[in-house]
Structure 1
Amino acid sequence: MSQGVQIVRDWRGLGPELKGAAVAVGAFDGVHRGHRAVIAQAAEAARTRGAPLGVVSFDPHPRRWFQPEAAPFRLMSADQMATALAPLGVKRLYLLPFDAEMAAMSDADFARRVLAEGLGVVHAAVGFDFTFGKGRSGSPEALKAYGRDLGFTVSVAERIDDASGLKLSSSAVREALAAGDMDRAAAILGRPFAIAGEVVHGDKRGRTIGVPTANVRMGNYMRPAYGVYATRTRLADGRLIDGVANLGVRPMFETPEPLLEVWLFDFDESLYGQVVETELVAFLRGELKFDGLDALKVQIDADAQAARAALSRQTPSASR
């Protein structure tokens, strides 16, 4: 369970207590404002049918299955997804394994075996561009036809864009992150982009210049623009701590993998082994290479000042 959302990791062999939901079906990576329109339709069906509200997504993301060598692209972890879904009234997150069996299913088989028989859904809400089944052969209209035969209703959410014309899609979030445009990413997501992970041991070099950092590996997350960010980090106990972070490979020291290294302001506690979530609130500058530690320290102090100024202009996001 995460924030009241039950995560169900298969569609096979479920008992009756896990069936019968009105669900939104899709990847929902990021649970952005466009996704919420689909989930709202499922919520309305859940209310009128007296059914629990569920979301059907996939792990791994289908793109990862078909393009295993693709660069990391995820916008959130499973736990972050569950946390984002909880305020929307979602009770169950069906995080279905996207495996060889799923990849080989026809659209008709997916509708029958997974949605009707496996999950026993009473309603399925999908987006206007939803495709499903081998070769992406299924469309929203096809799902409506299958639903009529199999005993569940279907609704289709039309494309919505921000009043300013901002495209509300996961690809648009990724484009904004790649450009370091954190305001645009947050406008689409409805909250700042955040990286969650376990704090791991680094090379301890920051401590030698009075800047101890909490280091988190990037894992499967999309790599935003490398550089320095104003951040807010939510600790395991719920505290939200302002800070400044370097995200990247540090050209001066050439780390073997990209790291998120966060200096938490006015904080002196050990976080090793704890899972923290860091919001990238504002992009301050790109990565630089310095002549030595003294020059680096001068720049870090300037970055900290810039981060504090940027954070003073941004209201913290709601607590979990």
Structure 2
Amino acid sequence: MPEIHADWHAVPEAARGATVALGNFDGVHLGHAAVLRAAHAARPELTLAALTFEPHPREHFRPEDPPFRLTLLPAKAQALAAQGVRTVFALPFDARLAAMPAEAFVEQVLHQAIGARHLACGADFAFGHRRGGDVAFLAQQCEARGIGLTVVPPVVDEGGPISSTRIRRALQDGYPDRAAAELGRDWEVRGTVFHGDKLGRELGWPTANILLGRHLEPARGVYAVRVALPDGRVADGVANVGRRPTLGGDPVTRLETHIFDFAGDLYDQEIGVRLVRFLRPDATFTGLEELKAAIAADAAEARRVLGAE
């Protein structure tokens, strides 16, 4: 994992002087990877760092909105590390930072606090109070301070520019395979396994249950999945995202995963559930026997899909 620095007022000297990629990096998708590569290519002799904001500015300005995050900070940091990032500046996005003028952000944060030697960002990067600073403004400010800047055009595929917004829409529409193509990996929800009502075990299909928390809610229904286990193994499985309508309904959406050929206790441990393929929408069954039969059919289909991957 990279070093994570949250307090820009107290950046250690060893973390200063990096080449820094700027952005929210939600999902760390292929477009973000291009920005990170550009930051490294410009100054390969320097430590590669990423500067991001926690929470995402949208969470600060619109806290009543449903959760929409693709990656929370630990997963984001791990994905950034996989792209060669050694230092993550995760700046707390609060009212004070939101009110900081763009020029002050460049001078106080980028120049003085973290001592950035080179910056890279996407062409649509905007920052400062009311997003008052765009890439043209950033270029002017960087030149005045002797900081290099690379502006990276969007990465485009047949569907257009790759973006976090587009990936969220693909997941909400039930296309995790499309999201994976744009992320460069399967989308994963991480959470701590909690004690449920043990109904799955009674039905012969024990499940590891986690809550989505601040993650985006994908299309409700059944998925073929791969599960990152606490011991580092990855196992195949079948999962349901939903509120259990057959059982009277839950107030919050849960992710219930049956892990194939697994015996063990995962309670109070963190797992990562990677959505591979959407199999069918959420459904209501007339009783437990019909539910049990549907789970068996879903499991067989998930095994077939994952075996063919």
TM-score, reference length from structure 2: 0.98
Q: Work out whether 1:82 is the aligned partner of 2:77.
A: yes
Distance (Å, rounded) in 1 between the aligned partners of 2:138 and 2:161: 25
Contact 1:180 1:225 in 2 (8 A): yes
Aligned to 2:155: 160
Shift of 1:283: 0.3
Q: Work out whether 1:93 is the aligned partner of 2:88.
A: yes
* Residues 158-185 of structure 1 deviation map (CA, whole Å, 9 limit, x = unaligned): 12202x3443100010110011011111
Aligned to 1:119: 114
* Residues 25-77 of structure 1 deviation map (CA, whole Å, 9 limit, x = unaligned): 00010000011111111111231xx2100000010000001111111000012
Contact 1:233 1:243 in 2 (8 A): yes
Provide the secondary structure at the position in 2 that maps to 1:233: strand
Provide the secondary structure at the position in 2 that maps to 1:272: coil
Contact 1:230 1:283 in 2 (8 A): yes
Distance (Å, rounded) in 2 between the aligned partners of 1:81 and 1:46: 23
Q: Work out whether 1:20 is the aligned partner of 2:10.
A: no
Aligned to 1:317: none
Distance (Å, rounded) in 1 between the aligned partners of 2:156 and 2:190: 28
Distance (Å, rounded) in 1 between the aligned partners of 2:236 and 2:47: 38
Distance (Å, rounded) in 2 between the aligned partners of 1:169 and 1:90: 20
- Aligned-pair identity in percent equals 44
Q: CA RMSD in A?
A: 1.0
* Residues 233-291 of structure 1 deviation map (CA, whole Å, 9 limit, x = unaligned): 01111111110011011111211210000000111100001111010000000111111
Provide the secondary structure at the position in 2 that maps to 1:12: helix
* Residues 182-202 of structure 1 deviation map (CA, whole Å, 9 limit, x = unaligned): 111111111111101111111
Aligned to 1:292: 287
TM-score, reference length from structure 1: 0.94
Unpaired segments of 5 or more residues in structure 2?
A: none
Q: 1:212 aligns with which of 202, 206, 209?
A: 206
Q: Aligned AA for 1:117? A: Q
Distance (Å, rounded) in 2 between the aligned partners of 1:192 and 1:84: 12
Q: 1:273 aligns with which of 262, 268, 271?
A: 268
Unpaired segments of 5 or more residues in structure 1?
A: 315-320
* Residues 206-236 of structure 1 deviation map (CA, whole Å, 9 limit, x = unaligned): 1111111000110000000000000100111
Contact 1:245 1:263 in 2 (8 A): yes
Shift of 1:309: 0.9
Q: Work out whether 1:255 is the aligned partner of 2:250.
A: yes
Q: 1:141 aligns with which of 136, 152, 177?
A: 136
Contact 1:167 1:188 in 2 (8 A): no
Q: 2:177 aligns with which of 183, 195, 213?
A: 183
Aligned to 2:224: 230
Contact 2:48 2:84 in 1 (8 A): yes
Aligned to 2:42: 45
Q: Work out whether 1:10 is the aligned partner of 2:4.
A: no
Shift of 1:148: 1.5
Shift of 1:6: 1.2
Q: Aligned AA for 2:20? A: V
Give the number of equivalent residue pairs. 308
Distance (Å, rounded) in 1 between the aligned partners of 2:82 and 2:275: 22
Aligned to 2:67: 72
Distance (Å, rounded) in 2 between the aligned partners of 1:239 and 1:60: 30
